[in-house]
Structure 1
Amino acid sequence: MGNVQLSADYMMTKLSEAKVHFERALDCKHTEFDDLYPYMIEHPQFFWYKRYVAWSELLTIVKLLSELSMEWKSIFTDQQVEYIERRVMSSKVLDDWFEKNDTKEHVG
């Protein structure tokens, strides 16, 4: 395993990937998790668990960026930043992650 320098660009790419992963999980779209656990699709708790995994990944990367004193808030709305800072994935996060008046489309 080589030494990887944690540049700001690298970390922002990882943050962006984690955000997309979480948003795809919210929209019940295919993610890497589906490939790892294809049998889970048959179980009702699958989508909740898939969202939890993606949320945990997002929080972990945000925590690393915070510990490294690196900016992470710029790719999120103010409401999303508030959810992340609370750290709890509640039904409000699931229901309101994509703001109603937001002009952005859900991830494709």
Structure 2
Amino acid sequence: MGKENVPVDYFKTKLREAKVHFERALDCKHTEFDDLYPYMIEHPQFFWYKRYVAWSELLTIVKLCGELEVNWKEQFTPQQINYIESRVMSGTVLDCWYESKEHVG
């Protein structure tokens, strides 16, 4: 597929969905992951793993957007862009993802 045939709206939608998924995981809210692995809720490491899966999904979509020259940065704050570009999900990312009290509903 050439870049001239890239469905930009599709990738922007997938990026928005990945961002929401990651933010819901950060906020310990229900995600599709809970439905796939309901037994994991009983284990303390579940929330860390759930966040890792959502972070990986977000990075994958961002990588595809970059390769296809789809602007992904417009959906994020400058600080979030820095976190994504560093690619490492750290305690800082988990604690400081939101620069304001604005959270996913």
TM superposition score category, shorter chain reference = over 0.9
Per the TM alignment, residue 6 of structure 1 is displaced from its structure 2 partner at its CA by 4.1
Question: 4+ residue stretches of structure 1 with deviation over 3 A?
Answer: none
User: Gaps spanning 5+ residues in structure 2: where?
Assistant: none
The structure with the greater share of residues assigned to helix is 2
Match of 1:96 in 2: 96
TM (normalized to structure 1)? 0.91
Aligned equivalents of 1:8, 1:79: Cα separation in 2: 24
Per-residue deviation at 1:37? Answer: 0.1
Deviation, 1:70, is 1.2
User: In the TM superposition, what are the counterparts of 1:16-35 in structure 2 within 5 Å?
Assistant: 16-35=16-35
Matched, 1:107 2:104: yes
Deviations 1:72-98 (A, max 9, x none): 000100000000000000000000000
Question: How big is the alpha-carbon RMSD for the aligned residues of Structure 1 and Structure 2?
Answer: 1.0
**Counterpart of 1:56 in 2: which secondary structure?**
helix
CA distance in 1, matches of 2:27, 2:58: 16
Which residue in 2 is equivalent to 1:83?
83
TM (norm. structure 2) is: 0.93
Aligned residues: 101
What is the aligned partner in structure 2 of residue 56 from structure 1? Answer: 56
Task: Provide Cα deviations, 1:6-47, integer angstroms capped at 9, x if missing partner.
Answer: 411010000000000000000000000000000000000000
Partner SS state of residue 89, structure 1: coil
Q: Report if the CA contact (8 A) 2:66-2:72 is conserved.
A: yes
Aligned-partner Cα distance in 1 for 2:14–2:104: 16
